[in-house]
């Protein structure tokens, strides 16, 4: 019987100059990426002596950042309507593509690293290839800003959340919406898939966190513990814990097997705007309004990990977790003391943990050299390779011409959407025709 330890604060990164909007660990745990309303990305290195990188390039707030499954690329989504793919090194090469006609709120990689999905205020979700950033298709049904869209672990589904108060589940094969979950409490800020792919969590502006079963299309758990809007949710690798960050200034960890809060963590001043578990669940990171990025060690999952490994050995022939694994079980004899939720206050610790402030290297695309931004040393970026037309033209054309080009680009966007709707219509017509012919055949 191992002793369970409480989560502890490990690192404290400072460098952003505005609200931190997203955080993500790379798969081999050597780096942490964060995005901010200050228009920049930061990539923090865990190795003590290494400097952090500040990637400059986006022209407006960066809303989301994600490492590719291989860790070789970082994708960022911005209010400037573009998505950038960066190589997280000191050279910081990136390519940029105009993804939407409005603010891009989120970007996610499929687990095979081949596809990207982006969600935007233009009410659409778009799927792209990672290689060459080719547009594949749009998912159109939301009637308001889409704040979040994530791939399922098996890559066959996408779940999205929107200000139209719905969470939609999409099938990527048929490009149809499979199910609509109604979140009556408010806008949906964030959604995430359970590692088993059988259920999803949603974070709502009314402070609620819901777990929905996507096979039975019903709600499994509804937690109302947060006192303010819940901004982000992240499942632990075991699927037994859910991490949330809220406007009420706290992070909470929910025990999904017991169906209650396990920990409440204080560390940020003001709203917590981003949270994320590492891929193996041993660490988690958070970012807030206070411009800080905090890295915590989970600790309480040590028992979990051992259990997962032994369980895998035993149940290799049996199917994955079933619905019973998620339901709170009242009569379960808990190995840990059934105390009320644990509160961790790391605010004092932050002051002690005066982080050996990493030097920050500004990494910029070549066009911007010469315009110094901060005191730290500058290194030249290798420039954007194979950047799409609009980006290269911007720097050399007159404003009227570049306006015209942007207008044409947005018209093309609209045309693309129209064509995809026409395609859909045609497919539906063909299906109906097939049905008609079949029923006719049956009658004769």
Partner 1 sequence: MSNPATDPKPVEDAQGDGRWMSLHNSFLHDAKEKEPEVVLIGDSLIALMAQSRLWKEMFEPLHCLNFGIGGDNTQHVLWRVLNGELDQVQPKVIVLLVGTNNHSHSADQVAEGVLAVTRAIQEKQPASHLIVIGLLPRGQQPNPLREKHCAVNKRLAEELEGRAMTTFLRVEDKEFMSAEGTIPRNVMYDFLHLTMDKGYQKLCEPLLEEIQNLLGTYVKVESTSFDTSSMAGEFDSAGPN
Positions touching partner 1 (CB under 8 A) are: 101, 122-124, 140-141, 143-145, 163-164, 166, 247, 271, 413-414, 417-418, 421-422, 424-425, 428
Q: Which is nearer to partner 1, 163 or 384 (CB)?
A: 163
To the nearest whole angstrom, how small is the minimum distance from the Cβ of residue 355 to partner 1? 28
Strands annotated E in 366-406: 378-380
- Terminus-to-terminus CA distance in the chain, angstroms? 72
User: Which one, 172 or 350, has the nearer CB to partner 1?
Assistant: 172
**Minimum CB distance to partner 1, residue 295 (Å):** 25
Task: Report the residue number, 90 or 412, with the smaller CB distance to partner 1.
Answer: 412
Q: Which is nearer to partner 1, 151 or 187 (CB)?
A: 187
Least distance from partner 1 to the Cβ atom of residue 219, Å = 20
Q: How far is the CB of 60 from partner 1 (least distance, A)?
A: 12
Which residue, 125 or 209, is less far from partner 1 as judged by CB? Answer: 125
130 in Cβ contact with 114 (< 8 Å) = yes
Residue 58 or 279 with smaller CB distance to partner 1: 58
Q: What tokens appear for 17 in the block?
A: 């100059």
Question: Between residues 148 and 358, which has the closer beta carbon with respect to partner 1?
Answer: 148
Taking the complex as a whole, the smallest distance from the CB of residue 246 to partner 1 amounts, in Å, to: 13
Nearer to partner 1, 329 or 407 (CB): 407
Sign of the dihedral defined by the CA atoms of residues 201, 272, 62, 141, in that order = positive
Shortest separation between residue 163's beta carbon and partner 1, angstroms: 7
Question: Could you give phi then psi for residue 75, rounded to 5 degrees?
Answer: -105, 140
Q: Per-residue DSSP letters for 169-212?
A: EEETTTTEEEEEEE-TTS-EEEEEE-TTSSEEEEEETTS-EEEE
Cβ atoms of residues 163 and 187 within 8 Å = yes
Helix or strand (DSSP H, E) at 135: strand 135-140
CB of 428 to partner 1, least distance (A): 7
Q: Is 313 exposed, middle or buried (0-12, 13-18, 19+ CB in 10 A)?
A: exposed
Q: Which residues pair with 283 in a beta bridge?
A: 297
- To partner 1, the closest distance from the beta carbon of 284 in angstroms equals 24
Give the HSE-up count for residue 78: Cα atoms under 13 Å, Cβ half-sphere. 26
Residue 46 is classified by DSSP as S
Can you state the percent helix, strand and coil of the chain, rounding each to 5?
Answer: 20, 40, 45
Q: Which is nearer to partner 1, 176 or 374 (CB)?
A: 176
Bridge partners (DSSP) of residue 65 are: 76
The widest CA-to-CA distance across the chain, in whole angstroms, is: 85
Say how far apart CA 63 and CA 53 lie, in whole Å: 18
Nearest CA to 90 out of 133, 35, 31 is that of: 31
- 192 token code pair: 């995430």
Q: Least distance from C-beta 143 to partner 1, angstroms?
A: 5
């Amino acid at each position: 019987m191992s002793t369970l330890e409480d989560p502890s604060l490990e690192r404290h990164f400072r460098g952003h100059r505005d609200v931190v909007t997203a955080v993500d660990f790379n798969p081999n745990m050597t780096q942490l990426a964060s995005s901010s309303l200050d228009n920049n990305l930061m990539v923090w290195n865990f190795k003590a002596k290494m400097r952090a990188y500040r990637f400059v390039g986006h022209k407006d707030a960066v809303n989301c950042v994600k490492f590719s499954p291989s860790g070789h690329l970082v994708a960022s989504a911005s209010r400037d309507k573009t998505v950038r793919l960066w190589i997280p090194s000191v050279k910081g090469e990136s390519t940029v593509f105009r993804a939407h006609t409005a603010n891009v709120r989120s970007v996610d990689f499929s687990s095979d690293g081949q596809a990207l999905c982006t969600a935007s205020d233009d009410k659409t979700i778009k799927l792209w290839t990672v290689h060459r950033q080719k547009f594949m298709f749009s998912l159109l049904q939301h009637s308001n800003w889409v704040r979040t869209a994530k791939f399922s672990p098996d890559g066959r589904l996408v779940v999205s959340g929107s200000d139209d108060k719905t969470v939609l589940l999409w099938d990527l094969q048929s490009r149809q919406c499979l199910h609509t979950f109604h979140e009556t409490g408010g806008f949906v800020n964030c959604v995430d898939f359970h590692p088993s792919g059988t259920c999803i969590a949603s974070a709502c502006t009314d402070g609620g966190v819901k777990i929905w079963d996507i096979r039975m299309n019903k709600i499994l758990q509804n937690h109302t513990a947060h006192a303010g809007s819940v901004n982000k949710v992240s499942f632990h690798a075991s699927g037994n814990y859910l991490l949330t960050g809220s406007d009420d200034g706290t992070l909470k960890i929910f025990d999904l097997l017991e169906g209650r809060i396990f920990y409440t963590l204080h560390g940020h001043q003001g709203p917590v705007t981003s949270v994320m578990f590492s891929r193996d669940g041993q660490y988690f990171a958070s970012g807030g309004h206070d411009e800080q990025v905090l890295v915590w060690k989970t600790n309480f999952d040590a028992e979990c990990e051992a259990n997962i490994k032994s369980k895998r050995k035993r149940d290799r022939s049996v199917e994955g977790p079933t619905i019973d694994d998620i339901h709170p079980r009242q009569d379960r004899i808990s190995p840990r003391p059934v105390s009320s939720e644990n509160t961790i206050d790391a605010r004092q610790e932050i002051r002690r943990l005066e982080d050996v402030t990493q030097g920050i290297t500004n990494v910029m695309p070549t066009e911007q050299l010469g315009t110094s931004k901060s005191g730290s040393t500058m290194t030249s970026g290798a420039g954007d390779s194979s950047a799409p037309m609009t980006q290269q033209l911007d720097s050399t054309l007159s404003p009227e011409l570049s306006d015209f080009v942007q207008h044409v680009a947005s018209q093309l966007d609209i045309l693309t959407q129209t064509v995809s709707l026409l395609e859909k219509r045609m497919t539906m017509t063909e299906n109906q025709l097939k049905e008609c012919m079949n029923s006719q055949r049956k009658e004769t």
